[in-house]
Amino acid sequence: MEIRALGGQGLKVGAEGLGLMGMSAHYGATDETESLATIDRALELGVTLLDTAEGYGPFLNEQLLGKALAGRREAAVIATKTGVEFTDEGAFRGHNATPEYIRRSADRSLRHLGTDHIDLYYLHRIDPNVPVEESVGALAELVAAGKVRHIGLCEAAPATIARAHAVHPLAAVQTEYSLFERGIEHDGVLDTL
């Protein structure tokens, strides 16, 4: 598998990643045995970036990934997300990218993943009620504390990306880009990146 750098701070991943959302949520019935086998096979093939979020399940997807990586944490680059609030019982609360919630959700994700650090921690959605500088500041504090290695944004506009990157270097921006969705070619996101 070809290895590629994400951002300029040393994060390296296989050229292909595996999104785990459908293994726990949103696409119908799930099968833990098949999901674990899929993760195993991806790792065998050199896929290192495994993408999850606390909201997938909620929490079930992170717990699945933690189970899959038990005893071999170093085999993968874990990407997970914060900024969409859930109670500890899994009740959806809406957008919340306050520093307090980001810190609380990071600790919960670390427990669910069974690890002491998150390789790439994304702000899942931009919270219109919290300046992105405050949210990214909290993510930067997690980097300084060693709980997170790199940070990123999901579904962000060019000006938001620039403002966030001015606070702390972003390793990645996750957004839909496919044969069917080419909007970032025209809205300035690619040029900003």
Catalytic residue among 27, 56, 121, 177: 56
Report the CATH number at residue 76: 3.20.20.100
Task: Express each pLDDT in 113-167 by its tens digit.
Answer: 999 999 999 999 999 999 999 999 999 999 999 999 999 999 999 999 999 999 9
71 lies in which domain range?
3-192
Can 56 be counted among the known catalytic residues? yes
Assessment of whether the complete model's pTM goes beyond 0.85: yes
**Domains: count for the chain:** 1
| Angle, CA of 138, 168 and 9, to the nearest 5° | 120
